[in-house]
Amino acid sequence: MTTDPNVVARVLDEVDRLTDRLVTSLTDAIAVPSINPKYPGQEYDKVVGAEADASALMADLYREAGADVSHVVVEKGRDNACGIVRGAGGGRSLLLNGHVDVVPPGKRHLWQSDPFAARVTDTAVVGRGATDMKGGLVAAAYGALALRRAGVTLAGDLVLQAVVGEEVGDHEAGTTAVLEAGYTADAAIVCEPTGAAGTLPAAVPVTPGLLWFSISLEGKTAHSGLRGLTVHPTLEGDSLGVNTVDKFWIVYQALRGLEDEWARHNRHPLFPPGYFNLLPGVLRANPSGIFVPFFLADELTVEYCVYHHPGRSNEEVIAEIEERVRIACQGDPWLREHPPVFEWKLLWPPYSLPEGAPLEAHLLDAHTTATRGEAPLRSGFLGVCDLTWMDRKGIGGLAYGPGVGYTAHAENEYVEIAQLVQAAKTYALTAINWCGLSGDS
């Protein structure tokens, strides 16, 4: 744990002195429109390259913090920036990871200002990526910079990563690529947003599982004037036409019932009741090739996003969802003969840091020291993050970072300046706790 009060005081003072620069660096990072080029709805060739620009900005900060810097590139224009602040030897290494890619800005007319021209208030920085997660990236770099300016030499290495691809689960081009290139460590902090409005960052040792899948239904088109004959089974029914919109409610109710069961029985102490859910987020239904309501819709595809309990595997949850839909469809003559077709598009496994892992204790102590006695909250993560892929490479860790989670992916996204400062302090003190100090510090 943190034992030298003089070193601690120097580091905390340096972060305070660097606050204005930290905010400026964050506004510079937000000004780079590093939208993930593979995000649905983007034209890859028009967007690619901005991630590399954001990584270059982070690389400059890493160099100033005393890191040896290089770039890991899987796809041209999508550079990952990696830095290592070399320790004196004999200590454990710590990795601070964050992603430079952001989601599109959404409806620009709902923003109070240009989403890629950060607006700074007395208490916050507003702009796309402020919370998710350029705030955490910049705070990590400034934590490392504060260590250098305070004259601290760690015993173990401090590894800094600014990666691409996270927003679409493209870890092969981002986090997994840099780990396989040798930028690894004994433990990791992913600097994702873990705060809420008016709070400081929470310690997050667990993330849910994430599934993205589609269900497609087949119907039988007919003239809209024939709906009455087709919708009532005592009349013509399925032999004349089948409207997929009507049939979808059978599937919807089955999965809505499963969602209610999860809320009642599938709980976790670090997540609020009802958090684990099945979201039907996209629905497309129409007569084949026609987009007017003068026919029965014979095509339907619904896209679901699922967050599930971290104690359950993706495979277990997939089997439960498919079985629940299969049983529901057995009660409908048409769906029994024309069952829904599933397509599983993204499978993101959950992550849990083992109970009693020493990194968490070191981070809790660092946060409490920086606040002069206020311990952080512990919670589950709002979404998913690259801890999953680090775990696949044998690196344990947790998420901790500045940001107001509910503004991620929303208009007028913002991060509180107090959270930025607290995060930078916690990163720096955690590095001292975990990596140890050389005799020169």
Give the three-state DSSP class for 207.
strand
Q: How confident is the model at residue 273 (pLDDT cuts 50, 70, 90)?
A: very high
- Per the listing, tokens 């993204």 go with 346
pLDDT attached to residue 4: 85
**What angle do the packed helices 5-30 and 50-64 form, to 10 degrees?**
160
Percent above pLDDT 70 for the chain:
99
**pLDDT, tens digit, for every residue of 315-330?**
999 999 999 999 999 9
Name the band, by pLDDT with cuts 50, 70 and 90, for residue 3.
low
| Averaged pLDDT for residues 169-191 | 98
- Tell me the mean pLDDT in the region 284-303: 96
Q: Are 153 and 437 in contact (CB under 8 A)?
A: yes
Asked whether residue 1 carries a pLDDT value surpassing 70, the answer given is: no
Return residue ranges of the chain for CATH 3.40.630.10.
5-206+351-435
Distance, in Å, from the CA atom of 110 to the CA atom of 132, rounded to the nearest integer, reads 18
**Tens of pLDDT along 108-138?**
999 999 999 999 999 999 999 999 999 999 9
- Residues 86, 79: Cα–Cα separation, whole Å: 22
CA geometry: angle 337, 338, 340, nearest 5 deg = 135
The rounded percent of the chain whose pLDDT value lies above 90 is 95
Is the pLDDT at 242 greater than 60, yes or no?
Answer: yes
Tell me the pLDDT tens digit for each residue of 57-102.
999 999 999 999 999 999 999 999 999 999 999 999 999 999 999 9
Chain centre to alpha carbon of residue 31? 21
What's the CATH fold of domain 209-348? Alpha-Beta Plaits (3.30.70)
pLDDT of residue 238: 85
One DSSP character per residue, 135-168 reads HHHHHHHHHHHHHHHTT--BSS-EEEEEES-GGG
Domain limits, CATH 3.30.70.360, in the chain = 209-348
Helix-helix angle 135-149:5-30, to 10 degrees: 140
Confidence of residue 231 (pLDDT cuts 50, 70, 90): confident
Q: What is the mean pLDDT of the chain?
A: 96
pLDDT of residue 441: 67
Q: What pLDDT band is residue 343 in, cutting at 50, 70 and 90?
A: very high
Please name the fold of domain 5-206+351-435: Aminopeptidase (3.40.630)
Q: What is the rounded distance in angstroms from the CA atom of residue 133 to the CA atom of residue 405? A: 10
pLDDT at residue 2 above 60?
no
User: Does pLDDT of 394 surpass 90?
Assistant: yes
pTM of the model as a whole: 0.94
Q: What is the pLDDT of residue 234?
A: 76
Output DSSP code: residue 226.
Answer: G
Residue 413 has pLDDT above 90, yes or no: yes
